[in-house]
């Protein structure tokens, strides 16, 4: 979304978990990683900061230095509040999408991270749904003031949270939000951005 926002051409390389350590001579233990000429950058936020600095004449991803620091708050909120529950809904489905070797790696690494089996993690999703929806209230009530986290148009902060929901959307059909929820409407707007880029990956059935 950040690359599309900047209007940059790119080639995407889908990568399996076990292939991540081999990317760009071991540049990172996680994806995304981008190469731009001689530059290799890992981590979504670092990539967005790099794009902002390298392509200042393209549409801004942050709207200035205050936007960069505020976006870090959104990123921390997304990772610490939004991601854990989305992971709970999506883990077993993500496991089911892997080949044998990647499934074994995914199970082992995630079970260590969560301290439970994947099935035990997933079993908490119905019980946790109402609390998850309530935890999104700051975003929901913000949408009564402005259509995007970025204000009148989307910024990287929108893509951070959208990316988390997109991860769940392509993994599981589990209904995270009520259709009438303003957050569901905002997600639909995100899916329409940049020639409906987000819709090029189908929702899980
Ligand atoms: N905060 C990082 C998180 C990246 C991340 O966790 N990536 C996962 C996949 S989406 C990964 O590469 N995991 C590798 C592994 O589990 O071995 C970012 O946004 O770039």
Phi, psi of 148 (to 5 degrees): -135, 155
Ligand 1: lining residues by beta carbon, under 6 Å: 17, 20, 30-32, 43-44, 109
The pLDDT score that the predictor gives to residue 7 is 98
Read off the pLDDT band of 200 (50, 70, 90): very high
* pTM score above 0.85: yes
The pLDDT score that the predictor gives to residue 138 is 97
- Mean pLDDT for the stretch of residues 170-177: 97
Cα(28) to centroid of ligand 1, in Å?
9
Asked if the structure places residue 115 within a domain, the reply is yes
Q: Are 98 and 46 found together in one domain?
A: no
CATH of the domain at 141: 1.20.1050.10
Cα(12) to centroid of ligand 1, in Å?
16
Q: At what angle do helices 125-135 and 83-96 cross, to 10 degrees?
A: 140
Q: Are 12 and 94 found together in one domain?
A: no
Contacts of 134 (CB under 8 A, 6+ apart): none
Read off the pLDDT band of 97 (50, 70, 90): very high
Question: Distance between CA atoms of 143 and 70, rounded to whole angstroms?
Answer: 17
The pLDDT score that the predictor gives to residue 126 is 96
Show the tokens assigned to 100.
């044998």
The pLDDT score that the predictor gives to residue 15 is 95
Q: What is the pLDDT of residues 111-157, one digit of tens each?
A: 999 999 999 999 999 999 999 999 999 999 999 999 999 999 999 99
Q: Are 31 and 88 found together in one domain?
A: no
Q: Are 43 and 72 found together in one domain?
A: no
Q: Are 71 and 50 found together in one domain?
A: no
Q: Are 49 and 117 found together in one domain?
A: no
Asked if the structure places residue 205 within a domain, the reply is no
Read off the pLDDT band of 28 (50, 70, 90): very high
Q: Are 24 and 113 found together in one domain?
A: no
The pLDDT score that the predictor gives to residue 168 is 97
Asked if the structure places residue 118 within a domain, the reply is yes
- Mean pLDDT for the stretch of residues 174-203: 97
* The total number of structural domains that make up the chain: 2
Asked if the structure places residue 92 within a domain, the reply is yes
Asked if the structure places residue 59 within a domain, the reply is no
Asked if the structure places residue 47 within a domain, the reply is yes
Ligand 1 atom 11: residue of nearest CA: 30
Q: Are 124 and 188 found together in one domain?
A: yes
Show the tokens assigned to 138.
């700051």
Q: Are 37 and 130 found together in one domain?
A: no
- Mean pLDDT for the stretch of residues 77-106: 97
The pLDDT score that the predictor gives to residue 9 is 97
Show the tokens assigned to 177.
């939000």
The pLDDT score that the predictor gives to residue 32 is 97
- Helix, strand, or coil (residue 166): helix
Q: Are 80 and 161 found together in one domain?
A: yes
Read off the pLDDT band of 180 (50, 70, 90): very high
Q: Are 18 and 89 found together in one domain?
A: no
Atom of ligand 1 nearest to the CA of 28: 12
Atom of ligand 1 nearest to the CA of 106: 16
- Mean pLDDT for the stretch of residues 42-59: 98
Cα(110) to centroid of ligand 1, in Å?
12
**How many residues in the chain?**
205
- Mean pLDDT for the stretch of residues 56-77: 98
Cα(40) to centroid of ligand 1, in Å?
16
Asked if the structure places residue 88 within a domain, the reply is yes
Q: Are 78 and 44 found together in one domain?
A: no
Asked if the structure places residue 60 within a domain, the reply is no
Q: Which domain holds residue 48?
A: 2-54
């Amino acid at each position: 979304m950040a690359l599309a926002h900047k209007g940059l051409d790119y080639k995407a390389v889908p990568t399996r978990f076990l292939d991540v350590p081999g990317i760009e001579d071991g540049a990172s233990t996680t994806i995304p990683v981008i190469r731009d000429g001689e530059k290799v950058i890992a981590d979504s936020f670092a990539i967005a900061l790099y794009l902002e600095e390298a392509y200042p004449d393209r549409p801004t991803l942050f709207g200035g230095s205050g936007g960069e620091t505020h976006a870090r708050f959104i990123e921390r909120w997304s990772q610490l509040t939004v991601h854990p529950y989305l992971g709970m809904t999506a883990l077993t489905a993500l496991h089911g999408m892997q080949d044998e070797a990647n499934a074994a790696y995914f199970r082992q690494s995630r079970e260590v991270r969560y301290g439970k089996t994947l099935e035990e993690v997933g079993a908490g999703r119905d019980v946790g749904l109402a609390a998850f929806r309530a935890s999104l209230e700051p975003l929901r009530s913000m949408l009564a003031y402005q259509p995007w986290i970025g204000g009148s148009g989307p910024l990287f902060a929108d893509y951070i949270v959208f990316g988390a929901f997109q991860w769940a959307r392509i993994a599981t059909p589990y209904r995270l939000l009520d259709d009438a929820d303003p957050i569901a409407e905002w997600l639909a707007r995100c899916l329409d951005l940049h020639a409906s880029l987000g819709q090029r990956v189908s929702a899980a059935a």
